[in-house]
Structure 1
Amino acid sequence: MKPLNVVFLWGLLVTQEVCSVDSVNPPSASVEPVIEAPSNSGGEPALGKVLVKPKNTAPSSEPGNSSNNIDSGAALPPLPSSAEVESETEGDFYSNQVAPEALESFRPAKPDMLPKKTGALFPETSVDSLQDKKIIREVNVVGIRRVDRQAILDHLPEHTSCTQAELDVFVKNLFNSGLFKEVSVFLENSVLTVRVQENPSIAEVRFEGNDKISRSDLKEESTLQPRDIFSKESVSNEVKRVVQLYSNKGYYAVKVRPLIQRLKQNRVNIIFHIEEGHRSYNKQIRFLMDAKDPGFSESALRDVITSLEDRWWRILGDPAECYDKARVEYDCDLLRKHYYRNGYLDVRVTAHTQLAKNREHFYITFFIHEGPQYCISDIKIKSDLKNLNLDGLETHITLKKGSVFNAEMPEKVASRMAQELEMRGLSFLEVRPVINKNELRKEVSLCFLACKAPVVYAGKVFVKGNYATNDEIIRRMLKFSEGDPLSMNKVNSSKEMLESMDFFESIDIKPVASADPKIQDVTLEVKEKGTGDVKFSGGYSTQDGIIGQIGLEERNLFGRALYGNLSAMVAQHGMDFRVGMANPFSFGRNLTLGGTLFYNRFRSTTKGSFSGEGAYKQSAGGADVYARYPLSQTLSQFWGYSIHADHVSHFSPYMSPYIWSNMQGKYNILNASVEHKLEYGKTNVENGEYVSGSGVQWSTVLHGVGGEVKCLKNIIMATHYIPLNSEKTLLLKFEAQGGFIHKMGYMRFSDQFTLGLFSFPGFRFSGLGPRDERTGDALFARCYYTASAKLYWGLGFLGIPKDTPLRAVVFAYTGSLWNSIFGKQDNNAYILSPNFQNRASCGVGLIWTLPMMGNIGFLFSKPVQRQDWDQTQNFLFVWGQSF
């Protein structure tokens, strides 16, 4: 019998350079080995170093016009060719051609090197011979050192005879195991000889040249570990993984070259040499719309997406400035949702990206086909069930006939209706929104259909992925428990509740069928994210001087959804330290219970100057406890109790006699109060700024529940925002507030109200209101009011990019401070402005908002209505304050 000789060899691979946008999903480019001899090798002969020869990829049809189209859609018009832009798919990649003399022991055999196929098992024309059974009486395995012999025999057929096709499968399975570099099989005289050469084992994995990502982070994410079996697939995957890690950080010009060092005992070291290159930023983001009169301006669309253009004023950098293919895909989705919310149901959004020749910049263009805008023609509520009372469900409909159709609202309205039916005790009902679109009339008719839902009860609830958060914390947020009726409305509501905790990156709730068709188990899988924050800020203001702040927050303390915070603020004129803890879900309800320990010390003044004769110091240390809970979606209630020891010192001997007599023997007192607060808020926030809506707050503080100060203080504040253009770059803000103190016993002069600086631009701190005619000291007062109007606008019309965080503001204030506690002494003989006298001021300013620094800018204001004894200040410097 002629011997059966089937030989398979496997080559090595190991290097990849990525210079294109496709590195987000690393391209299937060829990668090859760079093999370097160990510096001190005393064993087997060292392999020579293999140099990789570059070659071009398949030529593009036209340089500069090849693109990465994100999302499918209609054919896109090509961008204008540019000298500085090349196709993102252009570039040189490393080929799979290596010097033949360097890899003799690793090179695959050429066809003419294989044994000639002769004998009965290799017929040239007979296909039937492939099915001839050959007897195997004995199996010899040669060449194994680490691999167990049985691991090879397990791949053989169980019977004692086999065909050539079965032997082919056997050899392929051995290769697919990744354990062997070479396999040869011989069948002679019923003896099967399997000769193998094992793949090397990995002795060490090292990363060199990395700076932007630490070695520990690279090793933590690595799939290659010491004592693993070396294979070309594992090294190739590791190269792609490293490239992906750098791509996620914006380094698309990264080059990763693996070096293979061969050691004794069939072991290798793998060294990944990394050339990081420069970070790739978004040079330009454009929006091209096919409509002659587009529904949204380019500036408005920029506020929708998360990607940002590279700008020098973002001193600390922003990840959104770096190109990220996944982020661009997400932006396409955000743009679609934005158009859906505004009635454009036929919108199509695609993205086109190009990489500049310098490999450092990307050009992104969003192509938008808007289509018509749809309005609501009719809204109905129906049911296919008899005797189902639908009264009251219409109160949940926020859509109106004739208004622009918001594609997100029908599901929300239907969910609220289903919740209403469940609250009435009607289980196994659901509300489905039925949408009929009339393309000719550009109208949409809505019908909310109440119908039967499948009768399903919740079985067991399995929670997975919560390594930090306790099970009970997650379960108490669910709208159902084991044995309760189960509906998709409850599942969706539970998901919304879990998302509101802001503990998880992703939440997946899946009902799973069980043996009983009426019972479904529920699998809840979460992926946790970081819940701690560290905040730094610094600044300077006319009122506080130089300011430095640091804050530590943890939203999931001990895995029990507890909120903990520690903050410290040190300023030129004072300091404040606080540590607190709160439970936002006390007793399994939406009830926040918390407490704070605090100490503060500030410098104040009665003459406008913090270092002059009117300056004094006051400090307080104590604790407070509070409870907060919602009364509705827009209204919440707050109760609190505070007790603290107060100290006042450093009074000037030339201070007003009124103040001296008031503070005599009261420099150290105990102050305790109960506070009640109602808060209404219905506002919209974009990029951390209020852009529309209203808010009202009314607080009442009763001093005297313990302590020496006895008074009742009431304050009410209201704010309203009006955007004047669709981009919301032109914003009008109205604000009004007022307060009154009812004296019920002893009060210090400093327990009263004061105005000036940021609370009333144009006047110094305590620069208006009652004043001692003899000494010029401010006496503060028990009543005040202020009203202001502010107009903010971006500076895009001056040629400044519209996303520049620089805004101009024009403002006007009016208000008064009157009725001091000293008014009845001497019948106001020496008190200037004891009664109501109005003041007013107006001004302009520039405000620049920067990360971690807050607002930086200046305000120039001038009083237009004042009294002769008022103290004015025209210029205010802003750093860190809101205005």
Structure 2
Amino acid sequence: MKLFGAHTARVNNLVRAFGVMMVSCLWLVQAAQANDFKINEIIVDGNRRIETATIRSYTEIETPAVLTTGAVNDAVQRVRASNLFESVSAEVQGNRLKVTVVEFPTVNEVVFEGNDRLGSKQLSALVRSQSRRVYSVSQVRDDANAIAEAYANQGRISASVEPRIIRRSDNRVDVVFEIVEGGVVEIERLSFVGNRKFSDRRLRRVLNTKQAGLLRAFIQRDTYIEDRVEFDKQVLTDFYKSRGHIDFQVQSVTSELSKTRDSFFITFRVQEGQQFSFGKITTTSSLEDVDAANFEKAIKVEQGDIYSPTLVESTIARMERRALELGLDFVRVEPRVTRNNESLALDIDFILSRGPRVFVERIDIAGNTTTLDRVIRRQFKIVEGDALNPREIRASAERIRALGFFARSNVTAQEGSAPNQRIIKVEVTEKPTGSLKFGANYNSANGVGLVASFREANFLGRGQATSFGVNTTSSTRNFNFGFKEPSLYNRDLSLSFGLDYQGTSKNNARYNTGSVGFDAALGFPVSESGFLTPKFFYETEKLTDVTTSSAVITGEASEGDRKTFGLGYSYSFDNRRTGLNPKAGMFLRLSQDFGLAGDARFVRTNVKLGGETYVRNEDFKVTATLEGGALNYASGSSSRVTDRFFLGSGLFRGFAPGGLGPREVDSSNSINDALGGEYYAVARFETQFPIGLPEEYGIEFGAFLDAGSVWGLNSAHVGSGTGQAPANTIFHDDFTLRAVAGVSIFWNTPIGPLRFNFTDAVKTAEHDVEQNFDLTVSTSF
């Protein structure tokens, strides 16, 4: 009976609990029905600038409607999400929903306080909060972060920016950015761990980041900027891999803040790996109609050369161009690399295969507010309808970046209207391309000079370059103007013309000179590193105010002005940046001018051949240069002192201007005048190297040896007993070898690069004028 009674009690409890639950559910349903609102109208209160209809659209409620409390709350949140209001609330008034808003105030003024290193104009360009615009809390926060980042880019990572709001009448506010600039956090030391092939000094030269040194007040690259360090990691990787260290890795970069919190110690931990060279280089074709032998001439690298990914890429590009020359479309070249760890060589097999048949549908360009589309489009070697070549797209992107017109550029290939179509999309951000410079220079030959120049690299957005320059010293004057169209008729053909005036006033001589020259030239590439430029030129020159008793110079001045028309050309070759060896290269400059009409007939030839390389793990730079020139006049014409060659310190160190070469000497009449020569030849050998001073000081040493001569004199006023010239003595009309040895100090300073040359003449000739010290400096500001 007790068990039965307990069971009955439990059943009764369950029944009572079920009853309570049912009553609760019924109450909830009734409560929910009681919170439903029938809304026939939405009214808005508090808005002054923003239309009522706009606010109603933000609620996303269409009347009439039946709303729950949750639906009303959702509508309020949607209005708040517009970021136009400081506060939003809603209440139901009968059949109406009243939405009350408080609009954000209008910005009355944006003020910067505490800024010294960055001016208010610079900061105004960084912030987006501006007067007469709606105040936004999130925007002001972003502006404060942008200002702090600008200071961080100057190395002031401790700078703080606190925005403050001052309420004004008529719902206006002043936005005040209170700035504490803090001090510059410099890079006290840049060091490397794990480098054995290259010294710390050599690797520091690669990096964009620099150590702080004596000139830390002027040099800006010694400040710590995180993005620059990330860039340096990639630069360091490219440096090693281009020299065969294919396994190179930057394992880590540690930035340790000093105890005084005013400097960083940055350490690059690297793993160099072994240096690899090219092994066997072969070409294989998987296509029946393609003979691999036709592509072997495009391979310039040889077995034993230091391996470089850049050389592999350039070889592939040449082979693909070869395929186009043979009329073969969609030929793809893929390198198959076989690693040989024993011989430290990489065998490369260039495999020719058929790539996917994908075409360029169109090229879209965006963001170029100034630069014309055609300037960007001509950087592509392909047009709409051509076969898509990803490597050519990458090369085009590099050419666009190399223009220097854009702060940012991005080239991507996107899906087109069909599976075999691609749209090439180019997005760029313009940047200023003009520059106005004022500066000064000094050298011991001409003294102090002033320099002013203007250059616009993208004139009217057409990609054309214009320049104007003035360079004067106490005894020299130079004015020049130039214009260049780099792509005439959208072809790989440049058109340029220039106007130049040069004048001297007793510049290391006892006479004045003046010359005006005009030339117009067409230029075009003739090889991967060669460029040919034919030209037309006009020259006029005069010799005045002669105060010397030199019979030659006096007689030449009596001829008056000379005017000459002619044709010429110049050829240049330079593979120091694009050659097979990243540590060496050569250059050649050859030019000839043919005076065909006017007061003189002549052929003027100049040639310069040189090469440079790095030795001792690239710590020593060695340069050798051979340079020469010749003036050949037709019968009936002769050279003048304004035409002939004078070897200044830039060509032959150790001698004063006009200090060697043909001279007219008469001691009884105090005549010792340099006449210049119609031929010259100079060989210069130089090495530049560090001497153990901290790299951040920018001081290096050099040693050099110059040897050569200037000779030859074919003037109508040279002679004795002819009635045209007295019997003065002409010295060194024939080749007389001179040689000079010396040392140099190179110093990169904030006011410009300085070079100190200390020389000692090894071999001289009678009446030569030596110059044992020479200093040059130039700067722009």
TM category, shorter: 0.7 to 0.9
Aligned counterpart in structure 2 of residue 659 of structure 1, from 536, 548, 553: 553
Deviation at 1:593, TM superposition (A): 1.4
Q: Which of residues 606, 623, 626 is equivalent to 1:733?
A: 623
For residue 155 of structure 1, what is the aligned residue in structure 2?
Answer: 59
* 2:769 aligned partner: 871
Structure-1 residue corresponding to 2:638: 747
The CA deviation at 1:773 is 4.0
For 2:446, the aligned partner's letter is D
Residue 675 of structure 1: which of 568, 573, 576 is its match? 568
Comparing 752-761 with 419-428, which one deviates more in the overlay?
752-761
Asked if the contact 2:285–2:291 (Cα under 8 Å) also holds between the matched residues in 1, the reply is no
Which of 593, 597, 621 aligns to 1:701? It is 593
AA partner of residue 136 (structure 1): F
Which position in structure 2 is the counterpart of 1:549?
451
5 Å-filtered alignment, 1:257-656, equals 257-289=162-194, 294-313=196-215, 317-349=218-250, 350-437=252-339, 444-603=346-505, 610=508, 615-652=510-547, 654-656=548-550
- Is the partner of 1:169 in helix, strand or coil? helix
- Structure 1 residues 574, 496: CA separation in 2 closer, same or farther (over 3 Å shift)? same
Task: Tell me which residue corresponds to 2:734.
Answer: 835
Pairing partner for 2:675 from 779, 785, 797 = 779
Contact 1:384 1:451 in 2 (8 A): yes
Partner of 1:212: 117
1:844 and 2:740 aligned: no
1:433-473 Cα offsets, whole Å, 9 max, x none, are 23345678765443322222222332233221111111122
What is the percentage of aligned positions where both structures have the same residue?
Answer: 24
Q: CA deviation at 1:571?
A: 0.9
- Counterparts of 2:335 and 2:277 in 1: how far apart (Å)? 16
CA deviation after TM superposition for structure 1 residue 659, in Å: 3.2
More helix per residue: 2
Contact in 2 for aligned 1:576/1:600 (Cα 8 Å)? yes
Equivalent residue number for residue 695 of structure 2: 802
The residue matched to 1:479 in structure 2 has which SS? coil
- Is contact 2:37-2:68 (8 Å) kept? no
AA aligned opposite 1:590: D
Q: Which amino acid aligns with 2:550?
A: S
Contact residue 136 and residue 191 of structure 1 kept, 8 A:
no
Deviates more, 1:137-146 or 1:543-552: 137-146
The Cα shift of 1:578 comes to: 0.7
**Residue deviations 1:301-342, cap 9 Å, x none?**
112211112233366x34422221111111111122223223
Q: Give the Å deviation of 1:616.
A: 1.0
Separation in 2, partners of 1:389, 1:867: 64
For 2:468 and 2:120, the matched residues in 1 are separated by 32
Tell me if the contact between 1:143 and 1:198 (Cα under 8 Å) persists in the aligned partners. Answer: no
Q: For 1:53-105, what per-residue CA distance to the aligned partner results, in whole angstroms no more than 9, with x for missing partners?
A: xxxxxxxxxxxxxxxxxxxxxxxxxxxxxxxxxxxxxxxxxxxxxxxxxxxxx
Q: Secondary structure at the match of 1:683?
A: coil
User: Match of 1:337, SS?
Assistant: helix
1:143 Cα shift? 4.8
Change (3 A) 1:691 1:778: farther
The CA distance in 1 between the partners of 2:689 and 2:489, in whole Å, is 46
The whole-number CA distance in structure 2 between the counterparts of 1:755 and 1:825 is: 24
Please state whether the residue corresponding to 1:417 is helix, strand or coil. Answer: helix
Partner of 1:391, secondary structure, is helix
Q: Secondary structure at the match of 2:144?
A: helix
What are the superposed Cα offsets for residues 203-244 of structure 1, whole Å, 9 maximum, x if unpaired?
433323333333334334323244554453233222212212
Give the deviation of 1:710 after TM superposition.
Answer: 2.4
Q: Distance in 2 between matches of 1:126 and 1:411?
A: 78
SS of aligned partner of 2:524 = strand
Q: Is residue 219–residue 750 contact of structure 2 (8 Å, CA) maintained in 1?
A: no
Tell me whether 1:723 sits opposite 2:614 in the alignment.
yes
Change over 3 Å in CA distance of 1:157–1:726 after alignment to 2: same
Specify which structure has the bigger relative contact order, considering alpha-carbon pairs within 8 angstroms and separated by 6 or more residues: 1
2:685 corresponds to which letter in structure 1?
Answer: A
> Given that residues 535 and 852 in structure 1 are in contact (C-alpha distance below 8 angstroms), is that contact kept between their aligned partners in structure 2?
no
Amino acid at match of 2:540: A
Letter in 1 for 2:776: V
What CA distance in whole angstroms lies between the structure 2 residues aligned with 1:724 and 1:470? 46
Residues 618-664 of structure 1: CA deviation (Å, up to 9, x unaligned):
11124222222221122222222322332211212x52223333433
| Closer, same or farther: CA 852–590 of 1 in aligned 2, 3 Å | farther
Q: Does 1:254 align with 2:159?
A: yes
Quickly say closer, same or farther: Cα 1:203–1:373, change in 2 above 3 A: same
- 1:561 Cα shift? 1.3
- 8 Å contact from structure 1 (residues 346, 370) kept in 2: yes
How is 1:187-198 mapped onto 2 (pairs within 5 angstroms)?
A: 194=99, 196-198=101-103
**In 2, distance between residues paired with 1:748 and 1:401?**
53
Q: Which moved more, 1:589-598 or 1:824-833?
A: 824-833
Q: Distance in 1 between matches of 2:284 and 2:302?
A: 17
Pair 1:720–1:443, CA change in 2 (3 A): closer
Q: Distance in 1 between matches of 2:550 and 2:103?
A: 96
Q: Return the alpha-carbon distance in structure 2 between the equivalents of residues 513 and 269 of structure 1.
A: 49
> 1:359-393 deviations in whole A, cap 9, x for unaligned?
44333222213344444444332233222122232
**Superposition RMSD on alpha carbons, in Å?**
3.3
Supply the distance in 2 between the matched residues of 1:685 and 1:541 (Cα, whole angstroms).
Answer: 33
Q: Matches of 1:559 and 1:354 in 2, distance apart?
A: 46
1:137 to 32, 38, 47: 38
Check 1:124–1:324 CA distance in 2 against 1; reply closer, same or farther (3 A cut). farther
Contact kept? 1:157, 1:166, Cα under 8 Å: no
2-structure distance, mates of 1:859, 1:443: 44
Contact 1:693 1:721 in 2 (8 A): yes
Count residues with an aligned counterpart: 738
1:768 is aligned to 2:660: yes
CA separation of 1:209 and 1:742: change in aligned 2, threshold 3 A: same
CA deviation vs aligned residue, 1:97-123 (integer Å, no higher than 9, x gap): xxxxxxxxxxxxxxxxxxxxxxx9xx9
Amino acid at match of 1:219: S
- Opposite residue 544 of structure 2, the aligned amino acid is S
How big is each residue's C-alpha offset from its partner over 1:697-740, in whole Å with a ceiling of 9 and x where there is no partner?
2222223x222122222232222223222233x22222222233
Counterpart residue number, 1:862:
760
* TM-score, structure 1 as length reference: 0.77
Query: What whole-Å deviation, never above 9, does each CA across 1:663-684 have from its counterpart, x for those lacking one?
Result: 33x1322233432222222224
SS at match of 1:242: helix
Aligned pair in 2 of structure 1 residues 221, 129: CA closer, same or farther (>3 Å)? farther
1:188 Cα offset (Å):
8.6
Distance 2:359 2:578 in 1: 39
Decide which of 222, 240, 245 is 2:145's aligned counterpart: 240
Which amino acid is the alignment partner of residue 657 of structure 1?
A
* 1:793 matched residue in structure 2: 689
Is the Cα contact below 8 Å between 1:411 and 1:433 reproduced in 2?
Answer: no
Q: Distance in 2 between matches of 1:130 and 1:649?
A: 111
Q: Distance in 1 between matches of 2:498 and 2:34?
A: 85
Q: How far is the alpha carbon of 1:825 from its aligned partner?
A: 2.7
Q: Which amino acid aligns with 1:647?
A: K
SS in 2 for 1:392: helix
Select between 320-329 and 777-786 the one with higher mean Cα deviation.
Answer: 777-786
